[in-house]
Amino acid sequence: MMIKKFIYKYILRRKYYRYGKCRRCGDCCSKIYVNHQKGIIKDEAEFFKLQKLHPFYTFLEIVDKDENGLVFKCNKFDKDKHLCTIHKFRPGICRRYPSEVILKMQGVMSEQCGFYFKPIDSFKDIMNKLTNKHN
């Protein structure tokens, strides 16, 4: 097994490789759901409590509410320059974006996003594993 595959699968416990790069579209900074313990935050009062727990939440403004919950935008995103104004000090969650956790939570990435995921195990790998199990 390739060393990269081994590290991703058995050390990092990943199911996908991530490819691509950021195109600075800003979509992930302007349509944000906040997922906390019981799921996506739907209630303003619940969100105001969260703001006291982590500085990142103080950057967020409520811009909408849809069937999933409250929708936020980050006020650290400069729309004209297409830049995060605190890029060097941006929170870990932004540094890691997009991670496959989004897929596990059945989240959707922007169609404009320059990143994409591919399963580490190919369909053939999975079929071989299943066949070997039953032999």
Residues that bind ligand SF4 (CB under 6 A): 22-29, 59, 74, 76-77, 84, 86, 90, 94, 97-98, 110, 112-115
DSSP structural state of residue 27: H
Closer Cβ to ligand SF4, 5 or 30, answer by number:
30
In Å, the largest CA–CA distance within the chain is: 60
DSSP string, 48-89: HHHHTT-HHHHTEEEEEE-SS-EEEEETTEETTTTEETTGGG
Closer Cβ to ligand SF4, 21 or 134, answer by number:
21
* Least separation in angstroms between CB 27 and ligand SF4: 4
Closer Cβ to ligand SF4, 8 or 97, answer by number:
97
* Least separation in angstroms between CB 103 and ligand SF4: 14
* Least separation in angstroms between CB 105 and ligand SF4: 16
* Least separation in angstroms between CB 49 and ligand SF4: 20
Closer Cβ to ligand SF4, 95 or 133, answer by number:
95
Beta strand pairing status for 35-36 and 39-40? antiparallel
The Cα-based distances of 84 to 26, 75, 123 in angstroms read 9, 9, 38
Amino acid identity of residue 104, one-letter, is K
